[in-house]
Amino acid sequence: MKPFLLIPLLAAFVAGSALAQDRIYRCGNEYTNAVPSGPKASECKLLEGGNVTVVQGTRPAASATARAPASAAQRVDPGEQKSRDSDARLILEAELKKALERQLELQKEYNSGEPQLRADETRSSAKYQTRVAELKASLLRNESDIAGIRRELGRIAPGVALK
């Protein structure tokens, strides 16, 4: 056989194999070139356009801790838990103290909605109005922080002794 006849024959074979996969359907997360039938046929959509490449993945094996029932999980020693609660209480109390100090500073600066003017501001300037609005927002945000810290302190067992 002559080589110049082999090239068109090879091209025809490649084109024919490409046409064999011209209809691809997507049924949920599955792709198929078989015409869908049955109850899932309504979920399937014909894909048009470029080639579809599907890479099969593997699911990670469930770890031993994920398979163990919750009751079988290791429990924390009561002494260790009291120590953790004590540490948490100390941290929260320090955060509450900082937030209360910050609240006093903000209230002093806010001055009931009329903070002192700075050198580059006048009472009617947009810069002053923006600063007043930012101070008010900071006060509200800080009040919310204080309330949250107090809620967290209430969740820790009240009988926990501080270190």
Q: What is the pLDDT of residue 32?
A: 79
**pLDDT tens series, the chain, 163 aa:** 555 555 655 555 555 545 555 677 788 778 777 777 777 777 888 877 766 676 777 877 666 555 555 555 678 898 998 898 899 999 999 999 999 999 999 999 999 988 999 888 887 889 999 999 999 999 999 999 999 999 999 988 666 555 5
The rounded distance, in Å, linking the Cα atoms of 45 and 1 is 45
What 8-state DSSP symbol labels residue 22? -
What integer pLDDT is reported at residue 100 of this predicted model? 97
H helices of 46-125, in order, are: 64-67, 78-110
Q: How far apart are the first and last CA of the chain?
A: 95
Ranges of each domain in the chain:
10-47, 76-155
